[in-house]
Chains A and B, each alone.
Chain A
């Protein structure tokens, strides 16, 4: 039973996110936890469902176990459908051959059969590692109105940052005439958000052509988009306004979590109209003890708080013993922070144990040379020993024998 779809979504979730270092050692970037109870992939998935898209292919490759188990049958995002739903698409072998995904375009190319099964008119391509709320159906209306062959969502970035992004240079009518990847002297401030809508038949042609080119990196930004521009296809820039955060680095992931504590530049997760869904585990409500102090923080279910927490984000099941102090930190689920430990400006991954008196991270105001300061990171399941000091910018690896200890 495969009725024709207007638009389906392909979610690129195969990346390693190497700039997140220890946090992505054992999981793909879209599975990275965020905001107390979410994972990065909740944003594009929720955006799809809220936009009325009921068929989403999730392309996985790097360390997919965490991501695949998390997505499951798609039920938390209402994507367990009779006709459509979420599909996990890993690289595969056929009787002729099989290769890993060689690039973003190659990943889509290898799934042409899947897309053809849905007979869509349009295909939405999004990445799984940005935090934002967007109505893709409005972007599609724009695409159709402008009779575009491809539409790329763009957001205005500050001029001094423009050279970090892929910049679209547009005509008066919004059509794109040039695309520059990280230009030294940017001609505009419209940065590509990595969200594309294509007419499927047209995209298919370009993907097939690109595969034949052995020199190509098989990448949307480097190959497909420039090829379409060269052929003077109708490429449109869809202007997006709102919160958008690329959480590719430790610093930006930390900042995005801290943003949740600042009501002025908040993504507003608590919106009735545009809810962000996630897979929830059963936890009791969190408990706050006699001598606990909590201010300006987010605390999730199942936590047990007996210490001091200031300006921090706590995921579920975190234990903070008496005398422990947290400041401007992100602590992921089931981590235990023992008595009198101090954690400042740090990200602690899941299942970690911070023993008594350990000191992790520090306040940047103590550093005259800020190049020596950074967010301290403790990897999943790691144990920071009694009295141990983890300096700002230092990273503790995830525990390697964790699976066998469980």
Chain B
């Protein structure tokens, strides 16, 4: 029953320009889906698979992450053995590594922590994945195949230039990998940034990285070794969304309005856990007219909403008309305001009768705390 794996989550982008909503907070704490933060999905999948030793690597501006996670109690990760650990950067003035510029440096900085844990396997994963991951199945597959690395992948018909494509043999062993602009036949698997490593192998890689100056986790730890080590791939079926850009974010959010997606994400056997906030239930006024929308607790709805995602404690006043919008916590939309394809961050105020139109291909984001 006890899990054989522990998990290390990367809470941020490493190297890439963060998307607008991730400026000022970690990628892991970008609010999503009306009441969650991106990291909640993978945390919930880990807990469902009884993986209770979870370390979250931080880089910078991780205040909101610490605030959100606390001691891990709301995810059932407040444990005496294992549990949630926030791994803040270990930086000295004379240190060679400044703020963990890439994932490899981040791993080098926690090598001794990894060594001290008793688990035999380590899951390395990003925290911007909106999906239910079957970690129990993936662990079993990894152990049964005596794999050094097991990647998580999904068959895709569309090709993503920024993702790793892989080709496997019938047993699931990875025989080829490709990261580039054109599509290659026979390699239709698209890998996620989720992998299980045998801990002994991972520590070996980390030591090599430190010795030889490796700086790319995917290339130096994984793809370089697919022919010399046992690298396997476990298939994910079902909904998945990787949130790197505003376009990814908006598209994935609007997909939540599809009943099948919601059914799969929220009404499966994995409850999506998040920080518990004691809001009161939402109140609808006399003139509230809502269609095709996802509404969190604590709101007061007096306006018209269509295809919107409304977070906690939002007030939408009478005469306000919102289409295709995402309104985050504690924002206020005043009377008569009209919004289309707008994302408002927390605590935004849109004044009376103001009109803001974006496009579904280019939604406008109103930054935290701003008043329009």
Residues of A within 8 A of B (CB): 35-37, 75-76, 261, 269-270, 275, 277-278, 280, 282, 284-301, 309, 314
Contact = CB atoms under 8 A, between A and B. Distances in A.
B266 A284 contact: yes
B283 A298 contact: yes
Nearest to A285: B34
Interface string B285-321: 1111111111111100000000001100000000000
Nearest to B267: A284
Given A36-B281, A269-B280, A299-B281, A285 B286 contact: no
Contacts of B284: 294-299, 309
Contacts of A298: 281-284
Secondary structure type dominating chain B contacts: loop
B276 to A, nearest CB: 5
Contact of B297 (A261, A290, A300, A314): A300
Contacts of B276: 76, 280
B285 A295 contact: yes
B274 A282 contact: yes
B65 interface: no
A379 B293 CA distance: 31
Contacts of B282: 286, 298-300
A285 B295 contact: yes
A287 B293 contact: yes
Contacts of A284: 33-35, 262, 265-267, 272, 294
- Which of A37, A289, A301, A314 has the most CB atoms of chain B within a 10 A radius of its CB? A301
Max count, chain B CB within 10 A of own CB: residue among A291, A295, A309, A314: A295
25 contacts: A261-B283, A277-B278, A282-B272, A284-B33, A284-B34, A284-B35, A284-B294, A285-B35, A285-B309, A286-B294, A287-B262, A287-B293, A287-B294, A288-B292, A288-B295, A291-B291, A294-B284, A294-B288, A295-B288, A296-B286, A298-B284, A299-B284, A300-B282, A301-B281, A301-B297
B280 A280 contact: no
A280 B278 CA distance: 8
Nearest to B73: A75
Given A287-B262, A288-B292, A301-B296, A282 B281 contact: no
A284 B295 CA distance: 9
A295 B281 contact: no
A278 B262 CA distance: 26
A175 to B, nearest CB: 39
B267 to A, nearest CB: 8
B295 A286 contact: yes
6 A-B pairs with least C-beta separation: A285-B34, A36-B281, A284-B266, A285-B296, A300-B281, A288-B290
Contacts of B290: 288, 292, 294
A75 B73 CA distance: 10
A296 B285 contact: yes
A286 B309 CA distance: 10
B137 interface: no
A293 B293 CA distance: 12
Contacts of B294: 284-287
A294 B284 CA distance: 7
Contacts of A297: 283-284
Contacts of A282: 271-274
A298 B298 CA distance: 10
Q: Determine which residue in B266, B274, B283, B286 has the highest number of CB atoms from chain A within 10 A of its CB, and name it.
A: B283
Nearest to A271: B280
A287 B285 CA distance: 17
Contacts of A275: 278
A299 B297 CA distance: 8
Contacts of B266: 284
Nearest to B294: A285
B211 to A, nearest CB: 45
Contact of A288 (B33, B281, B293): B293
A77 to B, nearest CB: 10
Contacts of B262: 284, 287
Interface string B25-38: 00000000111000
Contacts of A270: 280, 298
Contacts of B278: 76, 275, 277-278, 280
A53 to B, nearest CB: 19
Nearest to B297: A301
A331 to B, nearest CB: 12
A399 B284 CA distance: 32
Which residue, of B262, B293, B297, has the highest number of chain A Cβ atoms within 10 A? B297
Interface string B247-260: 00000000001010
Contacts of A286: 282, 294-295
Nearest to B257: A287
Contacts of B286: 295-296
A54 B260 CA distance: 46
Contacts of B274: 282
Which of B280, B292, B295 is the most central at the interface, judged by chain A CB atoms within 10 Å of its CB?
B280
A62 to B, nearest CB: 28
Given A280-B276, A282-B271, A296-B285, A290 B35 contact: no
Contacts of B296: 285, 301
A308 to B, nearest CB: 12
A270 B315 CA distance: 13
B266 to A, nearest CB: 4
A288 B267 CA distance: 16
Contacts of B267: 284
Contacts of A287: 257, 259, 262, 293-295
**Which residue among A288, A290, A299 has the maximum number of chain B CB atoms within 10 Å of its CB?**
A288
A222 to B, nearest CB: 38
A285 B292 CA distance: 12
Contacts of A301: 35, 281, 296-297
A315 to B, nearest CB: 8
B33 A285 contact: yes
Given A286-B282, A296-B286, A301-B296, 10 more contacts: A35-B281, A36-B281, A270-B298, A277-B278, A284-B294, A288-B290, A291-B291, A294-B284, A295-B284, A314-B281
